[in-house]
Structure 1
Amino acid sequence: MSNIMYINNNTIENSYVSQQPYPAFFYFKARVNKDWTFDIDWVCENYHQITGLPATQSGSSFSSFTERILPQARHRFLQELSTALKSKSHIQLPVPLICEKQSVIHLDFKAAPVHKEDESYYFCILCPLAPKMESPTVKKQKFLGMLIHEMRHPLMGILSSIDIIRHNQKTNSMDSEDYLSVIEQSGEALLGMVDDLLEYSESLSNYREDQEGLVNLNELFATARNLVLSNIIKKRLRFEMRSHSPVPECVRTYPKRLAQIINNLLSNSVKYTDFGTICLEILSCEPGTHGLDLIFSVRDTGIGMSEDVQNRIFTPFFRGDSRETGNPGGSGLGLYIVKELVESLRGEISCRSQVGLGTEFLVQVIVQKP
């Protein structure tokens, strides 16, 4: 709902709240007095569930709310609210609110005048500020642009090597072997890109076709383990699967996306680990703000990564230094795909690693009760 309209009916609160793109944090009524002061009637106070603050700290009055607005924004908010109430005009502005541990969330404040048969007042609502989303078309164009740029390098290596061999008759067998090696490596790089692009295409298909449904978490994690088990045995690695807290037998989520996240992370760990252990760990599945927060990790004792590589590991086509990554090939799309899928489940992924000691990926996604 981009523009606030005058509405004259007895279901203004329910109607207005239902039209918001995100769940309301709280909302209230404001009545203007004859002396131009205004009184606030608190209609619904539940924003402590979002801010992480206990209800006793959240407060139940308008003043307790305004006290948590960032000081530099508080004066402007009160001034514009007062002006809008006096002029009976609409108001919409961002409000930065201080939450648990002094973190800040940005809310979208809207207020509209309401006229009923027995009373007139302002109805005010605060919602999460709608994120600025990049359109799928723009995102696809950027991706294709990066892909074309990445494919030029191995193609140029192949074509230039063929050209040298063809036009230099004096090329000895040793030199020819070097050029053939360049062609082979470039071809393998292109093949790796094709494989990763197929995986990327599959992830898009999973995103479009995946339907939310009941998922048995233990079975899902066990299936992911079985898919990499042969490579684990081949490399003589040890595999551990743990759970630190009771896990619901079933949850509601998007099974294809969650499965691909786990599969990709496990495959990545096996690829970069030559000895030691791969560990898949379910850390918790506890009630959160929007459902159940499923948190799990994939940890290995592989080659690890420097801090610089960790900062760029989720960037599309980033492959890092071959001396550090072991040059396993591929286009650098694997972890980018994982991050996209995690975010589609309203989650987050982080990485911590140390060169020579191993890597751990920590994933938090939102699932629902059956």
Structure 2
Amino acid sequence: MASQLVLFPELVAGFSPELAVNMRSLRFLSRAPYSSTYGFRLPSRRGRTLMCSDLSSQKWNVPVLSSNEVVERLKLAGEGKQFLAMYSSVVGGITTDPAAMVLPLDDHMVHRGHGVFDTAMIINGYLYELDQHLDRILRSASMSKIPLPFDRETIRTILIQTVSVSGCRDGSLRYWLSAGPGDFSLSPSQCPKPALYAIVYPKDFTVERKGVKVVTSSIPIKPPEFATVKSVNYLPNALSQMEAEAKGAFAGIWVDNDGFIAEGPNMNVAFVVNGGKELVMPRFDKVLSGCTAKRMIKLAEQLVSKGMLKSVRVVDMTVEDGKKADEMMLLGSGVLVKPVIQWDEELIADGKEGPITNALLDLLLEDMSSGPPSVRVLVP
């Protein structure tokens, strides 16, 4: 006997979304009440009303695409974006087609945030502080209980080759380690293999020496055990940045639970105090240990030897002390050395960019362009 498929516009508890009925049932349907909104109304044996509709009442607005159509649409969506090369351990290679630079939706990093990342600058064909950033992501992965898909040297080689294939001379290399694809469970127990992803994109490192305003962030800071891990969970960071921009500021500054200055949403903070003779930074045990900030401690020793500074220290510092500083600056691979001239409604010193901040920026720029092999890796 022939069957007819009857479809439900909405799932009804206790009934299947698809119902095959024979000709006798179809005669019964011909006598059942019908509306364009609900379709047929069928009395059930359990005293409930079952609503279904025929195929002609369905309105499908979402197209079903072939793989070729998906690729073409991804190409259109990516127009204007300059992604030069991407490596994925899932496919086991590098692509230069932006439409192919995709992640599996079931990657534990995507749907659970179980992943870590880092970024290295590409300056005139050199990767700046690649090994320092690589050490940090491996440490973050260990703290996040993410096993490595390859050993350190293999990961390093993959990253360098990805930059080489991209042809990028000035830009950024961003890379991720994740628990990998598997399923949508909370635990990564069904993720058979961790994943490595990396992408290269151009970036203009034009230096802006103009001072900026910051505000005290009201967004709760990450707990110390998570703040020291560079994870992909940047929701607090994004909210802090949005709050700062809404107030006309460049960034927000976090204060820890003990009342000491912590860090910005994606940069460290430093101060010049004691009559402009001492460079101080918050301790790194409760904030992310910025590679640029740590390198700056080393570079600042040159200013000590020249007599411009007397010392460089890492200390606990209150907001009140910070606002009374002679100079304030933000440090990070994205901002390099950014002078801060106002915090909330209070000017820092005379509200002008300070000489130590500018001197430190000069040292960093010189280090990026002609520093030792320990901080500059040539891309073949």
TM-score if structure 1 supplies the norm length?
A: 0.23
Larger relative CO (CA 8 A, sep 6+): 1 or 2?
2
More helix by share: 1
